[in-house]
Structure 1
């Protein structure tokens, strides 16, 4: 019975499971276009995913914009809150920078510590030096180069000076004999300046620079007006001045009549009523600018060239050579031409002495120092050449025997000369080299200039020049330099003047500055090979000095 019941139940369950309405088969109702429906569903799914991604990007963009707006609002609020404090801080920083700059100019005018070593035997700047591309030869090579090249090239310096000075004495004496003391300028004895008289001339041919002071005829005299400092003097006019021509009986500096308007019934017993030199009135002297009492450099140039020509024609019959002008824009650039084809140049420079001092106003200096051209024809350049010569002579007496200071200057000048011939002239001149050496002589001890320290001092000189070029600052050695000994006799106006930056033109002329820096580093790069080459092969263009020939 139980078995039968089980069988009945099994049949019923089997019938229910296999009933087509309750449990249809898998493939019984599958439509024929199943694949098309699947494709549509997949395409719809992809569309939904793309839409979802787009919505997510928009939501993220909106959130970022909202965050940015909130951040800008916060920053603006913070700036508004801190504006007063920031303005105060900027003002304090500016005041601090000004104080530091004033302190630096007052106390750090000398060479920088990184260019000055503390011990006499160490090589300053070799460790951590900013010099690029410079490997100086050793001491033996430098000594050999100096002896064979530089000393050999300047062996005739003393004979050249003697020959030129003898001829110039004769020329100036002839000039004086042709001039009238009542109407013409009076020429005084010449003064030797520059490298030939400071014993560091290198370039061939040897060149003498001679100052020729002149004074006006009576009753006139020169009244120099020096521009060293002052608010009314532009920066590019510092170191210049003007020469006023006044009559001796019309100098009103010490008389009240030149400062007070006299009445019709009052008369000055010293000057009279109509003898005052009115401002702007034209002085009778032909060397003054038209309508001005100030001496004109162009007029002086023409007068000096004419006077020299007349003087040479007077004595030409005594000499077996010719005399000609070398550079037309330089008043006293002369050249002696010998029959052999050799020539000997020299410069006679008309100058005006400043108040019985060793300061001289120069109408034109040939090539150096390169301080630019005067804006006006009445501007005269102030020259310290006599003070420079005196300082070098005084310093040399305190240095050890055979000191290397002039040797350093000669080697640096030699390298600069050769580089100028390769790449053309730059803004760096021999006057800048000498200025750098004068600063180092003042900062260094005497024992630091021993002959054995030539390599160290030469490296230090080039390091000082590089630092000055990079900073565009090389101060004049005398103007505004209170470290110069008082025994030099500089006027107080010069000592207390604002320092004069010789590299100031580089600040305004960027392309010229770039060329100068490139030329300087090219010189450093070529220095070792140049020194080695000239140590082995000495040029054969050193002609012997002709003797002075006089026709009886």
Structure 2
């Protein structure tokens, strides 16, 4: 642009200087090439006009680009503001939904709502019919069935417990007398658990489940490690723990021979030459896995079975019956065989106490008690049997006289057991039914468990089970359940742990889930027939307690 203006000024100055009227010459004559000069001036003027047009177009283009850039920046700011507002709204909605869900879980006092229609369609595709479309027997029929079948079959439960406990006391005393105090595990007194000690055992034969705690020889001790103690574990290992065998602390009370060096000519009156651990620790002798300080369940099973066999051989001459193992893959599954051909099974379960709580690590659970399957031989199942017994006992004291909660559990367990004999075992067990009952006891008022409400509570338990099967989710009653009263004394780490889904196997095993659902609805259809059949007579196809055990 500057060059163009300079050219225009130059042309104007040249024209003024050469104008004949302003600067006349002496011999003023029109040059011969005047026409040529005029033609050149016109051409130069046209060139300047074209240059001016080009410059105006460039200026207009620059202005347009500037305006477009400003408009784009304005639109981008508007979009950012809109996106920020949308993100803020989405966050607020998510927080609101989470607050509603937390409030629903923490303040819902009634049982879970019924299944929605779409989920019922999914179950019907598996061959089932929703529970509300089935008819269960009324209260009078249930009462008659309970009196004739269940109450009569469990009348001698107290005598069975007394007989088994007396025999187990003698057996464990013989086991202790055979153990070497310096090298063998020390066995403590048994603890009764499960249905026989919670007063809801059904069916025959009556089976006592007894925990037998054991501890290592000095100076060793067990150090339990829970899955929720800070270490990262797979989802399938929830509810398990490991038992590490470590040397006891020096400040721990014990014999002084284990903390000092005795001269060669001195002996400890309790432990012989020395109470110290052998060099190297010899973890294999302490029932640990190979090249590992962790207790091995298979090693414990072999040790316990050998110890029980030796103890029985020592006292066998005192009794007029035989003792045999019932299940070889369970450590203390025993069976008393009488000369009459009858038998009495019971389970001695070796366990390890978890610190100072009522939690116990179990090497093997009885068949059908849970769906948990250990991944490794060093995984121990965490049992809440003592807490469950305590919860049912404390809750029963607050319920009306003759409450129907245990009767409800007994009827449901009886029906499940009979259905399992008809169609084979499924993914359901009596432990799942007991878990549902404890959930209902926690949310229901005590007045809802009166004796006349047996039919209503039984239907509610089955509805809870149906909904849990549909959702493939049944939360463990103690793990991660902060509604459990603090008076129960549950460790805080267990209360704050992630909830454990007892129905997680149904998520991983589709065939097991389908079979379980089919068996559940088949059981519901068979309820009237089963109750009618077993109300007329009590089957006598199992052994019963003998009148009296003979002791020499």
Q: TM-score, normalised by structure 1?
A: 0.74
Q: 1:147 to 1:329 in 2, by over 3 A?
A: same
Partner of 2:163: 163
Alpha-carbon distance in structure 2 between the residues aligned to 1:308 and 1:302: 10
Within 2, Cα distance between the matches of 1:156 and 1:283?
Answer: 45
Residues 149, 378 of structure 1: alpha-carbon distance in 2 compared, 3 angstrom cutoff? same
Instruction: Provide the rounded CA distance (Å) in 2 between the counterparts of 1:313 and 1:534.
Output: 41
The residue correspondences of 1:10-409 to structure 2 (distance < 5 A) are 100=97, 104=101, 107-108=104-105, 113=110, 115=112, 130-228=130-228, 230=230, 232-249=232-249, 283=283, 285-409=285-409
What displacement does 1:236 show? 1.1
Paired residues of 2:111 and 2:443 also in contact (CA < 8 A): no
Using the TM superposition, give the Cα deviation of residue 285 of structure 1 relative to its aligned residue in structure 2, in angstroms. 3.5
Would you say the 8 A contact 1:175–1:308 is kept in 2?
A: yes
Report if aligned partners of 1:133, 1:525 keep a CA contact under 8 Å in 2: no
Give, in whole Å, the separation in 2 of the partners of 1:98 and 1:281.
55
Superposed CA offset, 1:89-129 (max 9, x none): 79976995687468636742798956579xxxxxxxxxxx9
Task: Report deviation, 1:87.
Answer: 13
**1:68-102 deviations in Å (ceiling 9; x for gaps):** xxxxxxxxxxxxxx9x9999979976995687468
- C-alpha distance in structure 2 between counterparts of 1:109 and 1:341, whole Å: 54
Corresponding position of 1:68: none
Judge conservation of contact 1:400–1:449 (CA < 8 Å) in 2: yes
Measure the CA separation in 2 of the matches of 1:201 and 1:551: 28
The equivalent of 1:488 in structure 2 is 488
TM-score with structure 2 length normalisation?
A: 0.74
Distance 1:551 1:462, change over 3 A: closer
Structure 1 unpaired stretches of 5+: 1-81, 118-128, 253-274
Match of 2:460 in 1: 460
Change (3 A) 1:374 1:392: same
Tell me the CA shift for residue 226 of structure 1. Answer: 1.1
Following superposition, the deviation at residue 342 of structure 1 comes to 0.4
User: What displacement does 1:302 show?
Assistant: 0.3
Matched with 1:445 is 445
Change (3 A) 1:550 1:132: same
Residue equivalent to 2:410: 410
Say if 1:388 and 1:293 are closer, same or farther in 2 by CA, change over 3 A.
Answer: same
CA distance in 1, matches of 2:91, 2:364: 41
For 1:123, the equivalent position in structure 2 comes to: none
What is the RMSD of the two structures over their aligned residues, measured on CA atoms?
A: 3.1
Distance 1:528 1:179, change over 3 A: same
Cα distance in 2 for residues equivalent to 1:459 and 1:404: 13
Distance in structure 1 (CA, Å) of the matches to 2:148 and 2:237: 43
Alpha-carbon contact 1:472-1:503 (below 8 Å) kept: yes
Displacement of 1:367 in angstroms is 1.7
- Going from structure 1 to structure 2, the CA distance change for 1:91 and 1:187 (only over 3 Å counts) comes to farther
What is the DSSP-based 3-state SS (H/G/I as helix, E as strand, rest coil) of the residue aligned with 1:182?
coil
Number of residue-to-residue matches in the alignment: 438
The structure-2 alpha-carbon separation of the partners of 1:300 and 1:213, relative to structure 1 and needing over 3 Å to count, comes to same
1:209 match: secondary structure? strand
Q: Deviations 1:425-447 (Å, cap 9, x if unpaired)?
A: 11111000000000000000111
Cα contact 2:371–2:427 (8 A) shared by 1: no
